A and B are shown apart, each in its own frame.
Chain A
Amino acid sequence: MASAVAAYDPLATSGARRRAGAMVFVYALLVVFAGYYLLPLAVIVLNTFRDLPEIQRTGLIGLPSSFSLSAWPEAWAHYCVGGTCAGISRNFWNSVELVIPATIISTAIGALNGYILSKWRFRGSEFIFGAMTLGVFVPGQMSLLPWAFILGKLGLTNTIAGLVLVHCVQGISFTTLFCRNYYVNIPDDLIKAARIDGAGFWRIFRKIILPLSPPILIVTVIWQFTGIWNEFLFAVVFSSGEGQPITAALIALTGGGTSVHQYNVEAAAVLIAALPPLLVYFFGGRYFIRGLTQGAIK
């Protein structure tokens, strides 16, 4: 990206000295905004290492004068949420159990749909594609009652399997949209040649489409992973207590209300809940941004 930086230089219009002055101003603004964006992260990270008495004395914003790691195991395994004192590890693993199958299944379905809707078009396939992508916009509130009803009938209320089902179905629109728009750019001649050579539907998918797919599959997996991990509405409606994924459990944990805040432990819990998507962002940032802009513009 950086090498493609503009061949023009907007500030160069006005002499070297004015440019230097302007650049100081530019950096000053960038630093101020960096403060706004980094403050919450810094507060969370620092408070996981501070003692509770120190936080109560000086508030949440401040450099640690004490150092302790005790908040981490406390948040992970011992902290009390709604009567049970087993920390958030259980909810963390619920989220893992939810996010892995839901991401893999919805991505696989999206890849297959995208392949069909771009390379095996038939009468009405464009209409089907358009109607499927409407699902991207439908607010979750519309499907709360129907899902509650269906999950109840299937006996999947308050189970991770139920949430996996919800996220797979809700995810079809997005994953299909991503994959279809990527596969459309694979030349049709490639497919035609393969068909002349006698390759069929599955063979073309395995031998031609999948080997060309890693970029879009990574984007889709990252998108689904962060989206499902961070999702709150379905999680809080269709699960409760020990069965909740971590994002939903966090509200119960930090919004306790009655008791005094154990900020250091809660900060550790918040950080544990935020960590998986943050790691994905820091290590897969390029793909993350690509998915974002693609999902947004299309």
Chain B
Amino acid sequence: MSSTSILAGSAGGAPRSRWLWRITEYVPQIMLAPSVLFSFVYVFGFTAWTFYISLSNSSLLPTYDFVGFEHYASLWENRRWVVAYTNLFLFGSLYVIGGVAIGLLLAILIDQRVKGESIWRTIYLYPLAVSFVVTGTVWNWLFSPTSGIQAFVRTLGWTDFRFDWITDRNFAIYTVVITGIWQASGFAMALFLAGLRSVDHDLIKAAQIDGAGMRRIYWRIVLPAIRPIFIAVIVILLQYAIKTFDLVVALTVGGPGIATTMPAIVVYDFMFQRGQIAEGAAAAIMILIALFGVLVPYGFWAWWRTRREAARG
């Protein structure tokens, strides 16, 4: 690719070089084109294609016989899917509440001018560098009644101690919650800490002079000031929750039975284990809709906020 500067010198010369010069004017667009093509194909094309498959009667291979919303109807009658969706709501809400609560608590603790701040931060954040698969595998061992926490407490002498949630279909979902929070709360902590550090110190000093106690200062001044961070953390965690796949595969494989199955696992099962790709595509579209349910309101809120700030100058 020749540089514009050389050709710019010959602009207005012979027709051939003028033509070349015209081309070099469009170098940015030409260089961007492949990326635009690829990303549009996978953002819009892939989505449209998956949507179309969900309306066809494809089973093992894609076919294009249109059957309408039949697969969506059968999906909602499928017990697996209903369990998965219920799990998503239970897991999603506990995961977000737990992640926000622990993240905020840790951020506030670290914000008390503790010694060794970077060490604490490093400890709380490292899980984020660890894959969901590694996380799920290790916690599976810890939750295992025969070798993990239960076995350990029993060797300490408390011989009828029980902690066997992972094998109990009513409690297994909470092991997913504990593991998920372990992985994500440090991240919430990092965002909250950045927020706490950005709060206007004069406001806090003024409140201290007025004799406001610490709890009041946090409740009335600091936390309201970082409201945007709360919303960002909640949206990000919800997004992770909706996409949850590897964590559960590694931790419980969706079991015992189907007790901890998740929508993303159902998609995978339909598409690649059972050869019902139309149902799988319908389930994938449902996941997309759930994401929209979170992201569209967030988008509007962000847009409204920037407009309001712009209006204020």
Contacts and interface: CB of A to CB of B under 8 A. Distances in A.
A255 B117 CA distance: 38
A34 interface: yes
Given A29-B109, A200-B8, A232 B249 contact: yes
Contacts of A14: 213-214
A280 interface: yes
A132 B141 contact: no
Interface stretch (B28-36, B64-72, B166-174): B28-36
Nearest to B153: A61
B90 interface: no
B122 interface: yes
Contact of B27 (A40, A149, A201): A201
A60 B141 contact: yes
B43 A135 contact: yes
B225 interface: no
B194 A13 contact: no
Interface size bucket, B side?
35 or more
A247 B246 CA distance: 10
B105 to A, nearest CB: 7
A255 B136 CA distance: 11
A116 interface: yes
B112 interface: yes
Contacts of B201: 6-8
Contact of A135 (B32, B42, B62, B204): B42
Interface in B161-210: 182, 186-187, 190-191, 194, 196-197, 201, 204-205, 208
Contacts of B140: 254
Given A117-B32, A296-B232, A60 B142 contact: yes
Contact of A134 (B27, B43, B246, B283): B43
Nearest to A27: B114
Interface stretch (B12-20, B44-52, B73-81, B304-312): B44-52
A139 B46 CA distance: 11
Nearest to A199: B5
B113 A5 contact: yes
Contacts of A134: 43
Among B3, B28, B295, residue most surrounded by chain A Cβ atoms (within 10 Å) = B28
A8 B35 contact: no
A200 B126 contact: no
Contact of A176 (B35, B118, B124, B135): B35
A193 interface: no
A201 B4 contact: yes
Contact of A141 (B110, B214, B218, B264): B264
Interface centre among A134, A146, A273, A297 (most CB of B within 10 A): A146
A59 B151 contact: yes
Contacts of B272: 144, 237
Interface string B108-133: 01111110011010111111111111
A109 B35 contact: yes
A10 B218 contact: yes
A286 to B, nearest CB: 10
A249 B42 CA distance: 27
B214 to A, nearest CB: 5
Contacts of A154: none
Contact of B287 (A141, A201, A229, A254): A141
B186 A37 contact: yes
Contact of A169 (B38, B148, B287): B38
Given A26-B112, A61-B152, A172-B38, A277 B3 contact: no
B138 interface: yes
Given A172-B35, A202-B3, A251-B249, A6 B113 contact: yes
Interface string A1-45: 110111111111110000000110011011001101111110110
Contacts of B110: 30
14 contacts: A2-B118, A33-B106, A37-B127, A137-B239, A137-B295, A146-B46, A199-B5, A201-B27, A255-B250, A263-B147, A274-B130, A280-B129, A281-B128, A281-B129
Interface of A: 1-2, 4-14, 22-23, 26-27, 29-30, 33-34, 36-41, 43-44, 55, 58-62, 109, 112-113, 116-117, 120, 122, 128, 131-132, 134-135, 137-147, 149, 169-170, 172-173, 176, 198-203, 226, 229-233, 237, 247-248, 250-251, 254-255, 261, 263, 266, 270, 273-274, 277-278, 280-282, 285, 288-289, 292-293, 296-297
Give 9 nearest A-B pairs by CB, closest first: A200-B4, A230-B131, A59-B151, A281-B129, A120-B28, A232-B246, A61-B152, A141-B284, A146-B46
Given A29-B109, A146-B49, 10 more contacts: A37-B182, A55-B147, A59-B148, A132-B39, A145-B49, A147-B46, A230-B134, A233-B246, A278-B129, A292-B128
